[in-house]
Amino acid sequence: DLHRAAGRSGVGAVMGSKNVKAIAVRGTKGVGNIANPKEFMKVTYEKKKILAENAVTGTGLPTYGTQVLMNVINEMGAMPTNNHRDVIFEGAKDISGEKMHEPRKTDGKANLVTNQACFGCTIACGRISKIDETHFTVENKPQYHGASGGLEYEAAWALGSSNGVNDLEALTYVNFLCNEHGIDPISLGATISAVMELYEMGVLTEAQLGCKAPFGSAQALVKLSEDTCNAEGFGVEIGQGSKRLTEKYGHPELSMSVKGQEFPAYDSRGIQGMGLAYATSNRGACHLRGYTVASEVLGIPVKTDPLVTEGKAGLVKAFQDATAIFDSAGICVFTSFAWTLADVQPQVAAACGEEFDMANLETMGERIWNMERQFNLEAGFTKADDDLPARLKKDAAKVGPAKGLVNGIDKMLPEYYDLRGWDTEGRPTSSTLERLGL
């Protein structure tokens, strides 16, 4: 995309390490035939109407983007703040989707210019923003005075709440940098959070960092982000991610990550199912492989209590298997706010053939998940990697609806393994592999 980059999981860093700028593919034939063109056009037209009429996909996301969640998640006490030390951020309203719409006092213009859609999308949840030209981040940088990719919820949280920073313009500037350099703003913000905690502990110093870096400092966030993008000074250390950085400085417990990938924007003490989803995600901590927030927060497709562990193993498995189908079909996961597999199935069947019935799709989702699991096991991952940082299991939430709670991963994981048809060490049993044809 012109304004955004796919930085999550560090794919760009891997390519860069191999001196690969891009991979280009040019074909001489079409991408394949639609099995039933008339039926495909008919059913997709019908399903688009469901998206348009849904409160989330038809109104919330087009209007506020994913930033519609900022105040919602904060109010329910599940906003990771100051490297997951806290669960509510007092400055959330200052960096929210609503705030992006408000005219600034300095120039009377809003941070948000317009929304934007991925190719062919009818939801258009993307943001295009323009930074206040008098703001310290860009006052002498005219190249950043134009409109570009604005804040999504994950970026606003990771760069903002996670670091205690409520400066909307500073977050937008760093987000511009991330897009420009192909960096994941989640991992960048979360790694800087660990740096700020190490600084406040006295482990890292101003001399090492090149600036004072307490939680809440927009200046430190900007300085450390610029250094990381340019691979200068301490930015070289930050570029290694929180796992390697915290291990180097003797405090690995401060890396808020699973399998080396930093957490997204949901504290699993306040949304219990997300803790299990993070721990069992095949690509490390990820919200997009099993978004139980839909159920636990938004009540989609059914409302479940976010503060309890009961029933969450089945919920996570169901979301993971269904999401594998959405992803494999090339359908944005945000459509699942309005669609179920029953809406996806006739579209896939019309495009690919009658064998894609509901029963087969459900089995395919489960098969995909188990294939990925097998890959990880062969790569050396074990049950020990299906875990959360000690902070989330031992340090109870101090305020909000989740006050006094820790995440109950130890209760949920055995049930999850059992439902998956895995043994107690998290390995698919022979009968499970046979059933799935693996």
Q: What is the CATH number of the domain that holds 333?
A: 1.10.599.10
Task: Kindly state whether residue 286 falls inside one of the protein's structural domains.
Answer: yes
Pick from 295, 413, 432: nearest CA to 367: 432
Pick from 308, 305, 273, 279: nearest CA to 292: 273
Residues 208 and 300 in one domain: no
Cα 43–chain centre separation: 30
Burial class (CB in 10 A: 0-12, 13-18, 19+), 134: exposed
Q: State the Cα–Cα distance between residues 343 and 228, nearest whole angstrom.
A: 43
Q: Other CB atoms closer than 10 Å to residue 76's CB: what's the count?
A: 21
Is the model's pLDDT at 1 over the cut of 90? no
- The reported pLDDT for the residue numbered 13 is 81
For residue range 134-162, what is the model confidence (pLDDT) as tens digits?
Answer: 999 999 999 999 999 999 999 999 999 99
Beta-strand pair 148-149/126-129: antiparallel
Angle at the Cα of 55 from the Cα atoms of 99 and 125, rounded to 5 degrees: 50
% of the chain surpassing 70 pLDDT:
100
Task: Kindly state whether residue 359 falls inside one of the protein's structural domains.
Answer: yes
Task: Kindly state whether residue 241 falls inside one of the protein's structural domains.
Answer: yes
Residues 228 and 318 in one domain: no
Mean of per-residue pLDDT scores for the chain: 96
- Tell me the two tokens of residue 223: 């300085």
* Final residue before a domain boundary, out of 241, 265, 289: 265
Yes or no: say if 264 and 186 are a contact pair by the CB < 8 Å rule: yes
pLDDT tier at 333, thresholds 50, 70, 90: very high
- The reported pLDDT for the residue numbered 86 is 98
% of the chain surpassing 90 pLDDT:
93
Cα 13–chain centre separation: 18
Residues 203 and 277 in one domain: no
Count: domains in the chain: 2
Task: Kindly state whether residue 56 falls inside one of the protein's structural domains.
Answer: no
Task: Kindly state whether residue 57 falls inside one of the protein's structural domains.
Answer: no
- Tell me the two tokens of residue 379: 């790569």
Average pLDDT over residues 356-368: 96
Q: State the Cα–Cα distance between residues 22 and 54, nearest whole angstrom.
A: 38
- DSSP state, residue 142: G
* Final residue before a domain boundary, out of 221, 239, 265: 265
For residue range 219-254, what is the model confidence (pLDDT) as tens digits?
Answer: 999 999 999 999 999 999 999 999 999 999 999 999
CATH classification of the domain holding 199 = 1.10.569.10
- Tell me the two tokens of residue 384: 């020990």
- The reported pLDDT for the residue numbered 12 is 81
Task: Kindly state whether residue 87 falls inside one of the protein's structural domains.
Answer: yes
Residues 86 and 234 in one domain: yes
pLDDT tier at 326, thresholds 50, 70, 90: very high
Q: Other CB atoms closer than 10 Å to residue 311's CB: what's the count?
A: 15
Residues 250 and 303 in one domain: no
For residue range 28-46, what is the model confidence (pLDDT) as tens digits?
Answer: 988 778 999 999 999 999 9
Task: Kindly state whether residue 58 falls inside one of the protein's structural domains.
Answer: no
Task: Kindly compute the dihedral angle of the four CA atoms of residues 166, 168, 172, 173, in this order, to the nearest 10 degrees.
Answer: -80
Task: Kindly state whether residue 62 falls inside one of the protein's structural domains.
Answer: no
Pick from 7, 2, 3, 1: nearest CA to 239: 7
Residues 246 and 294 in one domain: no
Residues 250 and 288 in one domain: no
Residues 306 and 395 in one domain: yes
For residue range 294-322, what is the model confidence (pLDDT) as tens digits?
Answer: 999 999 999 999 999 999 999 999 999 99
Average pLDDT over residues 395-415: 98
- Tell me the two tokens of residue 240: 């290694």
Residues 330 and 200 in one domain: no
Burial 333-347 (b: 16+ CB within 10 A, else e): bbbbbbbebebbbbb
- DSSP state, residue 298: T
Half-sphere exposure of residue 429: CA atoms within 13 angstroms, side-chain side: 11
* Final residue before a domain boundary, out of 265, 285, 318: 265
Residue range(s) defining the domain that contains residue 223? 1-35+67-75+79-265
Task: Give the number of residues written for the chain.
Answer: 438
Q: How far is CA 123 from CA 33, 205, 337, 393, in A?
A: 26, 46, 11, 37
Average pLDDT over residues 348-377: 96
Q: State the Cα–Cα distance between residues 198 and 206, nearest whole angstrom.
A: 11
Residues 146 and 14 in one domain: yes
Residues 238 and 93 in one domain: yes
- The reported pLDDT for the residue numbered 288 is 95
DSSP bridge pairs for 112: 129
Residues 196 and 297 in one domain: no
Is the model's pLDDT at 101 over the cut of 80? yes
pLDDT tier at 27, thresholds 50, 70, 90: confident
For residue range 179-196, what is the model confidence (pLDDT) as tens digits?
Answer: 999 899 999 999 999 999
Q: State the Cα–Cα distance between residues 134 and 105, nearest whole angstrom.
A: 12
- DSSP reduced 3-state for 21: coil
Indicate if the alpha-carbon torsion angle 249, 255, 259, 262 is positive or negative: negative
